[in-house]
Amino acid sequence: MRQIFLDTETTGLSAEAGDRVIEIGCLEMVNRRLTGNNLHHYLNPERSSHPDALKVHGLTDAFLADKPRFAEVAQALHDYLHGAELIIHNAAFDLGFLDAELKRLGLGPVSRIAAKVTDSLLMAREMFPGKSNSLDALCRRLEVDNAHRNLHGALLDAGLLAEVYVRMTRGQGSLVIDDGERGGASSDPQARLSDISSLDLPVLAVSEAEAQAHAAMLADLDKASGGKTLWRKAPWAPAAADAAAG
């Protein structure tokens, strides 16, 4: 499934009070790789930004005056988001504004366009309970460089979110493909195990550079998990084998 990292900037904090979207930034990812197929629009909101909002995004009325209205980009946005999984930090905020814009045009909400919406803020709160989980805080915690983020920008923030999301999700729980997804009838995990003892499996030697890259990745995972990884303790792991030999 295509994944779209989405962020908006707005004239204020309340879509219900008439605040509008002034910037939309989206990055596309397929198979955990950014494709470069991005979508980015500045929009004329036909109203001024609240002074506090202006301090955050820096998009002045003069700058936005000649930009398109939301209605002019709505179809392109619909086509871009259609069928994708949207990943949004504090999704309720951005979706509230986008849904309000779509409603003004007599159109349905984003949830009818996208296949799925994932809120990375809720993910972060589960992973790091009791800690600050703003995008800036996550960048610091996960060592994503955001030194260039002096002002908020939708495309910039979508890019930072993509980096944060990849680091939050790189330790998957399982790579097993459920037989149910391939038409299999069994739901018993043991029944899904195949006997591969009779197979002649090739053994491929890794290069020194590949071995070093793998070791660096494991070190990153150790650091990101706070030292909670288990493979170092396994009897076949190099560290465990060295300890036993010593």
The catalytic site residues sit at 152
> What distance in Å separates the CA atoms of residue 233 and residue 230, rounded to the nearest whole number?
6
* 133, 124 contact by CB (below 8 A): yes
Q: How far apart are the two ends of the chain, measured CA to CA in Å? A: 48
> What distance in Å separates the CA atoms of residue 214 and residue 35, rounded to the nearest whole number?
24
* 170, 163 contact by CB (below 8 A): no
> What distance in Å separates the CA atoms of residue 53 and residue 13, rounded to the nearest whole number?
8
> What distance in Å separates the CA atoms of residue 215 and residue 15, rounded to the nearest whole number?
48
